[in-house]
């Protein structure tokens, strides 16, 4: 997933090592208490510690902002995928219909190993979404005559098949 690739760019190990350097500097200052270091030397080390802590805090805030942005992007991608994906049977039906022939619903149901009424239900879903058109292959009862109802992909259905390749 894209999120994992983006996290690889965030130098978490660098943050860890910066934090450890701060801890070491603090421990060193604690050890220097009563060692006879001059006030100027201790002040210099404390100023250095403050600069490093401020830089660390700024970097941490940047990483937190990046993380929130990546999290929001991932959530948006997941929502888009969930909203845009068809259920498994509708997707299989659409893929079958994308072949070179114009099969009837009866042929599609047999090929997919599903009941004709299930094929009709999923064909209706695809019609509602504007992904297929149903037509009659000849004289008959039209849309609900399974052996004569021919399915064709619309440009939207074709785009879905191309853009959503099976895993």
The pLDDT, as a whole number, for residue 133 is 92
Residues 79, 125 share a domain: no
Of 58, 84, 110, which one is at a domain's C-terminal end? 84
> Which uninterrupted H or E stretch holds 5?
helix 2-7
- Identify whether the C-beta of residue 146 lies closer than 8 Å to the C-beta of residue 105: yes
pTM above 0.85, yes or no: no
Residues 93, 80 share a domain: no
The pLDDT, as a whole number, for residue 11 is 59
Residues 80, 138 share a domain: no
Collapsing DSSP to helix, strand or coil, 118 comes out as helix
Residues 129, 67 share a domain: no
Q: What is the pLDDT of residues 108-123, one digit of tens each?
A: 999 999 999 999 999 9
Q: Residue 80 pLDDT more than 60?
A: no
Of 66, 84, 102, which one is at a domain's C-terminal end? 84
Q: What is the pLDDT of residues 43-60, one digit of tens each?
A: 888 888 888 888 888 888
Residues 45, 8 share a domain: yes
Residues 80, 7 share a domain: yes
Q: Which residue has the tokens 């690739």?
A: 5
Q: Residue 126 pLDDT more than 90?
A: yes
Give percent of the chain with pLDDT exceeding 70: 79
CATH code (residue 96): 1.10.10.10
Residues 7, 80 share a domain: yes
Range of the domain at 128: 88-163
Of 84, 113, 130, which one is at a domain's C-terminal end? 84
The pLDDT, as a whole number, for residue 20 is 82
Q: Residue 62 pLDDT more than 60?
A: yes
Q: Residue 99 pLDDT more than 60?
A: yes
Q: To the nearest whole number, what is the mean pLDDT of the chain? A: 80
Residues 71, 96 share a domain: no
Residues 72, 6 share a domain: yes
DSSP secondary structure of 10-71: S-HHHHHHHHHHHHHHHHHHHHHTTTT--HHHHHHHHHHHHHHHHHHHHHHHHHHHHHHHHH
Q: How distant, in Å, are the alpha carbons of 19, 49, 56, 60, 63 from that of 12?
A: 11, 21, 12, 10, 9
């Amino acid at each position: 997933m894209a999120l994992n690739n983006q996290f690889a760019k965030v130098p978490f190990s660098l943050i860890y090592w910066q934090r450890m350097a701060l801890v070491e500097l603090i421990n060193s200052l604690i050890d220097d208490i009563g060692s006879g270091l001059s006030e100027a030397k201790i002040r210099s080390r404390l100023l250095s510690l403050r600069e490093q802590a401020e830089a660390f805090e700024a970097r941490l805030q940047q990483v937190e902002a990046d993380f929130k942005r990546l999290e929001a992007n991932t959530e948006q991608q997941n929502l888009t995928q969930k909203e845009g994906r068809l259920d498994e049977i509708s997707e299989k039906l659409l893929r079958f219909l994308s072949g070179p022939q114009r099969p009837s619903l009866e042929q599609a149901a047999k090929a997919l190993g599903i009941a004709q009424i299930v094929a009709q239900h999923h064909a209706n879903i695809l019609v509602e979404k504007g992904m297929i058109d149903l037509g009659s292959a000849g004289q008959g009862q039209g849309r609900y005559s399974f052996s004569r109802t021919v399915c064709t992909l619309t440009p939207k259905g074709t785009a879905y098949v191309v853009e959503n390749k099976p895993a």
